[in-house]
Chain A
Amino acid sequence: NAGVMQNPRHLVRRRGQEARLRCSPMKGHSHVYWYRQLPEEGLKFMVYLQKENIIDESGMPKERFSAEFPKEGPSILRIQQVVRGDSAAYFCASSPDQTQFFGPGTRLTVL
């Protein structure tokens, strides 16, 4: 059973470009969570999705950020018009119940 997969592992963008981060949950898991980790800090919750539904987006910035988890395919975290402050590691987790399993993360660098 493959673990949570994220791609790309590293992403470099210039200010103003768009960043698309993908997450494929573990097989059988219908819950997906996105977290952001700034340098030298813990992870901060961004959004919680189930298939085709956003359940809780209370941790996601209101502008430029969006997330989806379509019926088919991976979950996508999209950041439009990136700024230097978006540079961070973005982690996806999936769960069948109360326990979340994390992917390896995508490290976004904004130049």
Chain B
Amino acid sequence: AQSVTQLDSQVPVFEEAPVELRCNYSSSVSVYLFWYVQYPNQGLQLLLKYLSGSTLVKGINGFEAEFNKSQTSFHLRKPSVHISDTAEYFCAVSPQTGANNLFFGTGTRLTVIP
């Protein structure tokens, strides 16, 4: 079975400051890892994904994440946030074999303060 923990339910940060959103996972099998962003009353948009290869992955809107297998983490970072980054961010995993359904964390609400 898989589970995802997002330790911070809310993260306030000032505009142009750096941010890190934490994600840890638990799985008995190898997984793919994803970060999605959800703006109010909208669907989920893929930010970035780790399938294989380099553990540092870059996504859209200046976000990046690093896969750390030993710590079972996939933290999301941005060096300088913008007001438009205010949204809900979800970390998710899917098993590499079988049905690739996603297991989501409970989300982190990022609020960028002007």
Residues of A within 8 A of B (CB): 4, 6, 31, 33, 35, 41-45, 48, 55-56, 59, 91, 93, 95, 98-105, 107
Does chain A have a CB within 8 A of B87?
A: no
**A42 in contact with B45 (CB, 8 Å):** no
Which residues of chain B are within 8 angstroms of A55 by Cβ–Cβ distance? 99
**A104 in contact with B102 (CB, 8 Å):** no
Closest 8 CB pairs of A and B: A42-B104, A102-B44, A56-B99, A104-B43, A102-B43, A45-B101, A42-B106, A43-B104
Name 9 A/B residue pairs within 8 A (Cβ), A-sorted: A41-B107, A42-B105, A59-B101, A91-B43, A91-B44, A100-B46, A102-B36, A103-B43, A105-B43
Q: Which residue of B lies closest to A95 (CB)?
A: B100
